[in-house]
């Protein structure tokens, strides 16, 4: 897997980013816009914005914008690991 230093520059990403004003949907803190906002690549790996399915795909959630939000990679991972 290639390591990206920037979030995906897609219309969907920009729409969600604007809607959330650059904040994580799970913890509410600001997300970095690029690797170069942070001192270390390791931080970027944890804090980079990622797409989160509000209703998990495993539970039948769609890939449509109304089922997606942006969250830190670490928050997304934490949520994904939660057993419900």
> Given the rule CB under 5 A, which residues bind Zn ion?
24, 26-27, 72, 75
Cα 25 to chain centroid, rounded? 8
**Beta carbon nearer to Zn ion, 28 or 60:** 28
Tokens 């906002």 sit on residue: 37
Rounded to whole angstroms, the Cα distance separating 44 from 67 reads 24
CB of 72 to Zn ion, least distance (A): 3
The residue (of 2 and 81) whose beta carbon lies closer to Zn ion is 81
3-class DSSP state of 12: helix
Nearer to Zn ion, 2 or 18 (CB): 18
């Amino acid at each position: 897997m290639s390591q990206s230093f920037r979030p995906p520059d897609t219309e969907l990403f920009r729409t969600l980013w604007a809607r959330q004003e650059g904040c994580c949907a799970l913890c509410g803190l600001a997300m970095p816009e690029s690797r170069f906002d942070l001192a270390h690549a390791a931080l970027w790996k944890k804090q980079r914005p990622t797409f989160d399915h509000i209703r998990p795909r495993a539970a039948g959630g769609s890939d449509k914008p109304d089922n997606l939000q942006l969250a830190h990679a670490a928050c997304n991972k934490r949520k994904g690991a939660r057993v419900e």
